[in-house]
Amino acid sequence: MTRTLPSILITGTPGCGKTTLSSKIATLYPEFQHIDVSQLVKEKELHDGLDKEFDSLLFDEDKVIDELESVVPNGGCIVDFHSCDFFPETWFDLVIVLRSDNTVLYDRLAKRNYSVKKITENIECEIMQVVLDEAMDAYAKEMVVELNNNTTEDMDSNVDRIMEWIKAFQSK
Ligand code: ADP
Ligand code: MN
């Protein structure tokens, strides 16, 4: 598939900074569309109800794919979601996995008033690098880039890095 603009997946454990980073890129590059998949799942009810145990919506992979398959493969999308292995590999040119330290993640999730159970679950997910492994299994290694995202300096450097990558893609 040839695209004028790349489509980029930004994934990682909840709280690692996906939405903040994606919004910054979409602001700098207005030709890109930021797709916050969690938001979309809520708005368009692409789920099978609430998982009471973890207090989270059980998103429906097929419904998410149906909703996005006419958009993301065309390019120019920044797709922001905590799960990554169910998207077709061909949709993306770059897969960013954001990583945050436990203490940083703890503070960010506590601010969301998540239950202790939900915070613990997410921190364990980050320690076990669940999302990174998922991305490594689902996409070609050259497409997957792991970026630390703890501080505002990290955020600035991540924005710069992705901007450079987009420029390189466009000049290919
Ligand atoms: P996600 O979309 O991955 O769940 P968010 O983008 O909502 O994460 O970020 C969670 C919280 O962490 C927000 O309050 C955000 O402002 C903060 N945050 C994200 N990235 C950074 C960073 N690099 N430095 C400091 N705070 C950050
Ligand atoms: Mn988010």
Extents of the domains making up the chain? 8-159
State what percent of residues in the chain have pLDDT above 90.
94
Q: Is 38 in the pocket of ligand 1 (CB under 6 A)?
A: no
Q: Which of 108, 149, 157 to mutate to test ligand 1, by most ligand atoms within 8 A of the CB atom?
A: 108
**Taking residues 125-137, what's their average pLDDT?**
98
In the CATH scheme, what architecture does the domain 8-159 have? 3-Layer(aba) Sandwich (3.40)
Q: Is 4 in the pocket of ligand 1 (CB under 6 A)?
A: no
ipTM higher than threshold 0.95: yes
Q: What is the pLDDT of residues 19-53, one digit of tens each?
A: 999 999 999 999 999 999 999 999 999 999 998 87
Q: Is 20 in the pocket of ligand 1 (CB under 6 A)?
A: yes
Q: Which of 20, 40, 81, 125 to mutate to test ligand 1, by most ligand atoms within 8 A of the CB atom?
A: 20
Distance of CA 64 to the CA centre of its chain: 14
Q: What is the pLDDT of residue 54?
A: 73
Token couple for 170: 């466009």
**Taking residues 157-164, what's their average pLDDT?**
98
Q: What is the pLDDT of residue 1?
A: 60
Quick one: which ligand is closest to 38's CA? Answer: 2
Q: What is the pLDDT of residue 149?
A: 98
Q: What is the pLDDT of residues 63-110, one digit of tens each?
A: 999 999 999 999 999 999 999 999 999 999 999 999 999 999 999 999
Q: Is 126 in the pocket of ligand 1 (CB under 6 A)?
A: no
Quick one: which ligand is closest to 11's CA? Answer: 1
Confidence category of residue 2, pLDDT binned at 50, 70, 90: confident
